Chain A
């Protein structure tokens, strides 16, 4: 065991530890050899021992005359506190278990909700794809002076049928040209 003596500041500390029997065996032996050889050190020990004994006896006597309440009421109160605490803990544990039961009930509901959400998303995506696949309708608005481009644009973007007469098409283009010129100038 490591030596304590080197860490103790003074003789009083060493002797207190010696009297309290708290020194390691080697230190104790060292103190005892010092007590044999040093009368001053020995007298210090005797003085300390006498102080210890006097104080022990004074406190002992004072304690004997001091009536303490019995510990039974304190023990009973503490027991009651323990019971209450245990009950409270048991109740809180029981409350913790309640949502556990609910979880079992909630599984099918949660699954149904997830399926419903999934289907909604699928339906939305599928319908938007369908919308995109449909060609935009041709521009068919009637020509008016306020909207001179309409007929032209409509014709330009409308696919030409294969059986369309070339002369008829040319005539139409001339009409369009005429109309554009009229409108612009």
Chain B
């Protein structure tokens, strides 16, 4: 059974340490999840706070919009609550964190599918509206770095962006990411490599 630290180091290089135990007095995910199952709202709040930053950043990178990321974040946690009885930490596959990011990824995929349907229906009108006149409240406050990265990210294929962002924000192992996305390990690694190469090139081009 894996346990998570309170603060997760976000890095592409350093994987999340396996089986790391939090500081003394800090409850593990599994412990909080057990209490959440029994209806302890405080335990749920602690879990949300623990994963708020990496999960929100992951969703922001995937969707590119703060409101959608917020909505997906909410949907993800409601889904956690709905399916909490089905989660089995002993079944392997990265524990609660992996399960949480899997749900978030599925929610993002659902959103993309509905977006694609919308686009087909409106013949690109929606996309133009979104790009040209986003609601002021929906816009992310962003620096130049952020805008550049967002632009480069937007040009990556979804499958590559997903692997890269999962690796960075969830800190899951490549084997776990491949398992989560339902693809072979070599495919996940190939997508990661392509995403890194493309992103590096795009960032370098905008620097010039």
Chain A positions within 8 Å of B, measured between CB atoms, are: 7-9, 12-13, 16-17, 19-22, 48-49, 51-56, 58-63, 65-69, 71-72, 74-83, 85-86, 89
A74 and B193 contacting across the interface, CB-CB below 8 Å: no
Q: Which residues of B contact A71 (CB under 8 A)?
A: 48-49, 52-53, 56
Q: Which residues of A contact B175 (CB under 8 A)?
A: 22
Q: How far is the CA of A71 from the CA of B50 in the complex (A)?
A: 9
Within 8 A of A (CB), among B136-158: 140-143, 145-146, 148-150
B44 and A79 contacting across the interface, CB-CB below 8 Å: yes
Binds A, one of B19-27, B99-107, B108-116, B194-202: B194-202
Q: How far is the CA of A69 from the CA of B140 in the complex (A)?
A: 10
Q: How far is the CB of B156 from chain A (nearest CB, A)?
A: 12
A9-B186, A13-B189, A16-B192 given; A65·B45 CB < 8 A: no
Q: How far is the CA of A83 from the CA of B40 in the complex (A)?
A: 8
Asked if B41 is at the interface (CB within 8 A of a chain A CB), the reply is yes
Interface contacts (Cβ under 8 Å), in number, total 143
B74 and A9 contacting across the interface, CB-CB below 8 Å: no
A75-B48, A80-B41 given; A55·B196 CB < 8 A: yes
Q: How far is the CB of B154 from chain A (nearest CB, A)?
A: 13
Given A62-B145, A82-B81, 15 more A-B residue pairs with CB atoms under 8 Å apart are: A7-B185, A13-B185, A16-B174, A16-B192, A49-B13, A51-B200, A54-B200, A59-B149, A74-B73, A75-B48, A75-B52, A78-B81, A79-B41, A79-B45, A82-B44
Q: How far is the CB of B92 from chain A (nearest CB, A)?
A: 15
Q: Which residues of B contact A65 (CB under 8 A)?
A: 142-143, 145-146
Find the A residue at minimum CB distance from B53.
Answer: A68
Q: Which residues of B contact A83 (CB under 8 A)?
A: 39, 41
B149 and A52 contacting across the interface, CB-CB below 8 Å: no
Residues 76-115 of chain B: 1 if any A CB is under 8 Å from the residue's CB, otherwise 0?
0110010000000000000000000000000000000000
Find the A residue at minimum CB distance from B199.
Answer: A55
Which listed residue, A8, A9, A52, A79, touches B42 by the CB 8 Å rule? A79
